[in-house]
Amino acid sequence: MPPGGGAGGGEHGCTVPGHPPATGRLGRAEDAPPHPPPPPPPPFPATDVSLEMKKKQKQEDEQEQQPLGSLPEGPLVDILSRVPYKSLCRFKCVSKPWLALCSDPKLRKRCPQTLSGFFFNKSKCGLSFRNLSGKGAPMVDPSLPFLGGKYERVEVEQSCGGLLLCKYWESYKGRNKKKYGYAVCNPATGQWKVLTLIVLPDPVDGVPVIYDDIDDFFLAFDAANPSRFVVFAPLSNSFGEFAQVAIFSSDTRRWTSVENEWGYKNVLIGKPECALLNGTMHFGTHYGTIVTVDMEGKVWREFDMPDDTPDKHNYTSIGQSQGCLYAWQIDNDNDCKLCVWVLQDYATGKWTLKHTANVSEIFGRQLDEDDHSYTLFAIHPDCNMVFITDSENMTLSYDMDNQKVSAISTSRTEFVDGALYVPCFAEWLAEGH
């Protein structure tokens, strides 16, 4: 910044704007003459100065034209920050300067993300990843190389907003197989946070109690507010009843506990039957209700699942798509009928039946010969597409708008626990921040 003061000088200068600088912000021409004090000011500006700058401009233009193309870097970065991440990765092949631009982590953080595939667990090797297209090398390395091989096995339990809730084993053989821990992971940024043991003061006498047999953790992470994540752990007894819910927050790095305000009898179905919507975590219960709590553990609500479910003996699953809560069920025992409901009016809690279909038909099978047990394990966060597996050898995507079917996997895979993945390149604030 040129120093202020001087007649007519100062930060902006009284000059004709110069060449557009690389960052896209307008600079001021530093070689143009400063505005002299009145009276009388010279003609503004001198013609030969204008020509000088025109020449300089042309030179700069040509220089800029070569590496990045017909637009200067500033506007190009602006444009690229608005294209989806998938397109950005494709454009890396355009040229070497574009490779540098498209690989810039700052750009990656800004560009819109969408569903890129699924993490799931293979019995042989643990954590695996399948692209949404069902083809090609996985776009994210499920071996989580940033862990440096520290853990012998990692599995995914649940995903939320680009983070994974993982189960890990340091040693996966013999008696050590029983010893595992839980961690939250961002595969895109390499962040990995082990969830510490839950140690909380007993609500009655304040003596610290270790809760080491909790197996139901629920991860809540909002990519729109990526500075922290939260993990809920209902402190259940063997019947699944709980009076307290432990909450881990990545910014305090501690567990605290809050009282369960839903009522003692609400037994949760368990992971991954949960969905984050508008900063509120929704959980399915075994009693045909959905209970909700916000990420601070302060606001507790409850409302009913759809009541016109064909199979009254099985629970309804929930998920989030396009800003709304969805519920679905497949009646495997009878006619493999799929029903999908959407909660269009959140305030009234009224469900709308959005779509029905016959899953046997979707899989190209005859209903009366079909004894598969189908699971709809995910709904696309941005469109009316769902993902169904027969838990044996076929996983498909099904578009509810046009009934179009695509194969995701036709090999023996375990997609029942498939966790959908939308990359998030923002980092949650860790130690030291």
Partner 1 sequence: MAATTADGSKVVGGGEKSNVDEESKMITLFSSDGERFEVTQEAAAMSQTIHHMMEDGCVDDEGVHLPNVGSSILAMVIEYCNRHVASPDEKEDIRSFDAGFVNVEHHTLFDIIRAANYLDVKELMDLCCQTVADSIKSKSVEEIRELFGIVNDFTPEEEAEIRKENQWAFE
Contact flag: residue 107 with partner 1 (CB under 8 A) = no
DSSP state of 285: B
The tokens for 260 are 């369960």
- Cβ distance 228 to 219 under 8 Å? no
Dist CA 195 CA 399 (whole Å): 37
Dist CA 19 CA 29 (whole Å): 7
Which residues lie below 8 Å from residue 70, measured CB to CB, with a gap of 6+?
none
Region binding partner 1 by CB under 8 A among candidate stretches 49-57, 256-264, 307-315, 376-384: 49-57
Which residues lie below 8 Å from residue 156, measured CB to CB, with a gap of 6+?
119, 120, 121, 127, 164, 165, 166, 167, 417, 419
- Cβ distance 399 to 198 under 8 Å? no
> Which CB, 95 or 358, lies closer to partner 1?
95
- Tell me how far, at minimum, the Cβ of 420 lies from partner 1, in Å: 15
For partner 1, the binding residue among 33, 36, 75, 323 (CB under 8 A) is 75
- Tell me how far, at minimum, the Cβ of 144 lies from partner 1, in Å: 17
The tokens for 127 are 């954590």
> Which CB, 78 or 202, lies closer to partner 1?
78
For partner 1, the binding residue among 3, 4, 5, 43 (CB under 8 A) is 43
Dist CA 193 CA 157 (whole Å): 15
> Which CB, 35 or 372, lies closer to partner 1?
35
Region binding partner 1 by CB under 8 A among candidate stretches 68-76, 166-174, 338-346, 412-420: 68-76
The tokens for 427 are 């980092």
- Tell me how far, at minimum, the Cβ of 158 lies from partner 1, in Å: 23
Phi, psi of 136 (to 5 degrees): 85, 170
> Which CB, 54 or 253, lies closer to partner 1?
54
What is the x/- site pattern for partner 1, positions 10-29, by CB under 8 A?
x-xxxxxx-xx---xxx---
DSSP state of 147: G
> Which CB, 32 or 378, lies closer to partner 1?
32
Residue 348 Cα to chain centre, angstroms = 28
| Binding to partner 1 in span 135-154, by CB under 8 A | 135-139
Please give the C-alpha separations between residue 366 and each of 330, 360, 394, 411, in angstroms, as whole numbers.
16, 6, 15, 21
SS3 percent helix, strand, coil of the chain, rounded to 5, is 15, 35, 50
- Parallel, antiparallel, or unpaired: how do β-strands 117-122 and 419-421 relate? antiparallel
Dist CA 115 CA 319 (whole Å): 14
> Which CB, 193 or 380, lies closer to partner 1?
380
The tokens for 390 are 């027969």
- Tell me how far, at minimum, the Cβ of 345 lies from partner 1, in Å: 26
Contact flag: residue 36 with partner 1 (CB under 8 A) = no
Of the candidates 65, 58, 74, the residue with the CA atom closest to the CA atom of residue 26: 74
Contact flag: residue 93 with partner 1 (CB under 8 A) = yes
Contact flag: residue 353 with partner 1 (CB under 8 A) = no
| Binding to partner 1 in span 280-339, by CB under 8 A | none
For partner 1, the binding residue among 95, 244, 249, 391 (CB under 8 A) is 95
Contact flag: residue 35 with partner 1 (CB under 8 A) = yes
> Which CB, 129 or 262, lies closer to partner 1?
129
- Tell me how far, at minimum, the Cβ of 425 lies from partner 1, in Å: 15
Number of residues that bind partner 1 (CB under 8 A): 57
| Binding to partner 1 in span 111-140, by CB under 8 A | 116-117, 131, 133, 135-139
Please give the C-alpha separations between residue 250 and each of 225, 228, 238, 253, in angstroms, as whole numbers.
13, 5, 28, 5
Region binding partner 1 by CB under 8 A among candidate stretches 84-92, 314-322, 379-387, 388-396: 84-92
Residue 29 Cα to chain centre, angstroms = 44
Could you report how far apart the first and last alpha carbons of the chain are, in Å?
30
For partner 1, the binding residue among 7, 99, 224, 353 (CB under 8 A) is 99
- Chain residues that interact with partner 1, rule: CB under 8 A: 8, 10, 12-17, 19-20, 24-26, 35, 41, 43-45, 50, 53-54, 57, 65, 68-72, 74-75, 78-80, 82-84, 86-87, 89-96, 98-99, 116-117, 131, 133, 135-139
